[in-house]
Amino acid sequence: MAARYPWFVKRDLDGFFGLFVDNIVQLLVITELGVAIAGLSRAFVYARILPGAALSILVGNLYYSWQARRIALREGRDDITALPYGINTPSVFAYLFFVMGPIFSHHKAQLGADGAALLAWQAGLAACLGSGLIEFFGAFAANTVRRITPRAALLGALAGIAIGFISMDFTLQVFERPLLALLPAGIILIQYFSGVRLPLGLPAGLVALLVGTVLAWTLKAFTLTPLFAHLGAGVQSEIGLELATLPSAEAIKAALQPAMHLPIPSMRALMLGLTQPEILGMMGVIVPMGLFNVIGSLQNIESAEAAGDRFPTAPSLAVNGIGSIAAACFGSCFPTTIYIGHAGWKRLGARTGYSVINGVVISLLCFSGLISAFSALIPMQAVIGILIWIAVIIGAQAFQAVPRRHALAVVLGLFPALASWGLLTFQRGLQSAGMLDPGVLSQMNPAAHVGGMIGLDRGFILTSMGWAAMGVAFIDRRFRVGAGWALTLAALSFFGIVHAWNPGNLGESFTLGFGVGWRYAVPYLGLAIILMLLAPRAKPLTDVEASDGYIPDGH
């Protein structure tokens, strides 16, 4: 049977469409948010970032397909499914919102929009390289990292990003333009929540993409008819709002022109990104996201084993890191990862060919410049539902994949991320009114608690992890472990990696240095001392208590 193991099977096409739509969504998000958040031009994204992203996708897809085929031949099986692989969604949002976006905003006045966007891109390359190195070396220490960091700490921080920066942002966009976005989002959620297949077995993501695109351009065509002119001014205004994000005819014409965009080595830009002073302050984003990728990929390998396909851990994770490093070296700011959902592709009947086809097609689209046609013709509203679903999955997993008693710790870990999202939304409002400067921030009504939002925003991913980890230690009555996490947060605060902010300049992006966060370090240190004093009185939960579903009630 092994000798007849085919390179492609019919159901590989089903797997390809699902993975292809997922990857296309990532590239569209990178394009749209790269322009909106980091000030990048579309031409730059198409020419420098997406070819590097495509190369990283191709490298991983080819390897995981080869890996699966090799295992199938060795085990004499014909049902091995390659690990799904692509750009890591949470990292896209984390690096755009918390690395590239802040650097662009901070330097825009001094360097101009183009200069600040270039600096943001360079910092993004450095962040991607950092994540790739953590992924690569983490491949050989993944189990150790997993053992010392509670799952609630990792998933809780990730859930905060999902709820605030993915689900809330994109849900607001859906209800801002319901004619275009609400129906496609509903189609996706119907299938993904229920598991019911659509007619002809069509993937919900593909159907939503087609429905949203047809809706957008049909509505656009309607505005050119005489009937539109007879509508009331209010209705015309509402339809105009729905169509505001669609490109002009000139932009579409330009996007449909093929242009060769091969990956360009970006080592000099990468080195410049690594030497930026702000990059140290970004460690509060880069390190946790790298760990997320390592642990998440490890969990997805375990999921594949549960579905019947056993892959070696170290090489699988190492190649994941190599993909991210390749991305950074060739212009992409966004790490890659082993995707969740291997069991789903396996149930579809996909084997190894779907991975090869996906990598090749994505690469051809990006290298030929035709990805710009997708970006121009497919409105963002058509694919928002997929992103909301991803956020729902991440948020739900944080509660489903941890012991019931640790749900309290997960909720605790949400607070810093939600505060950071609130601060970003607050700043956007001030920016749109032309009021985003330290003087205005300093004069805000005390009820706004701007200082508190800033304090939670700084390095919030590390804070989320630390709080959730302490929560787990409290629940399990392992106070010495909790003291260790409190001391860690005290040290991070003291040097300004988390929390620290300058009351004299609320608009300052980062406050790093010796003792800059002493106001936060002192209470964390006090908490560590209290925990050590209480440790002899705290009897850790027994295995029986833990297995019985112990839930703390505060008494």
Task: From 408, 382, 430, 384, select the one nearest 476 (Cα to Cα).
Answer: 408
In the prediction, which pLDDT does 481 show? Answer: 93
**Residue type, position 415, single letter:** F
486-507 per-position pLDDT tens digit: 999 999 999 888 888 877 766 6
- Angle at the Cα of 334 from the Cα atoms of 331 and 340, rounded to 5 degrees: 145
> Which is more confidently placed, 463 or 548?
463
Distance CA 539, CA 554 (A): 16
For residue 439, what pLDDT band results from cuts at 50, 70 and 90? low
Segment (H or E) for 87? strand 85-87
Torsion, Cα of 353, 355, 357, 359 (10° steps): -150
Q: Is the pLDDT of residue 312 over 60?
A: yes
In the prediction, which pLDDT does 151 show? Answer: 77
180-207 per-position pLDDT tens digit: 999 999 998 898 788 787 887 777 878 8
Alpha-carbon distances of 412 from 211, 356, 453, 474, rounded to whole Å = 39, 42, 16, 12
Q: Is the pLDDT of residue 435 over 80?
A: no
Mean pLDDT of 29-41: 90
In the prediction, which pLDDT does 2 show? Answer: 47
Phi, psi of 207 (to 5 degrees): -65, -45
CA-based torsion, 397, 401, 402, 403: positive or negative: positive
Q: Which token pair is 198?
A: 């659509």
Q: Which token pair is 216?
A: 């957008």
For residue 308, what pLDDT band results from cuts at 50, 70 and 90? confident
346-360 per-position pLDDT tens digit: 776 788 999 999 999
Helices (H), 39-100: 42-44, 50-75, 89-95
228-278 per-position pLDDT tens digit: 888 888 899 999 888 887 877 777 777 777 788 999 999 999 999 999 888
Q: Show Cβ contacts of residue 251 under 8 Å, excluding neighbours closer than 6 positions.
A: 376
- Distinct helix (H) and strand (E) counts, the chain: 27, 2
Q: Is the pLDDT of residue 508 over 70?
A: no
Tallying the residues shown for the chain, one arrives at 555
In the prediction, which pLDDT does 472 show? Answer: 93
Q: What is the pTM of this model?
A: 0.73
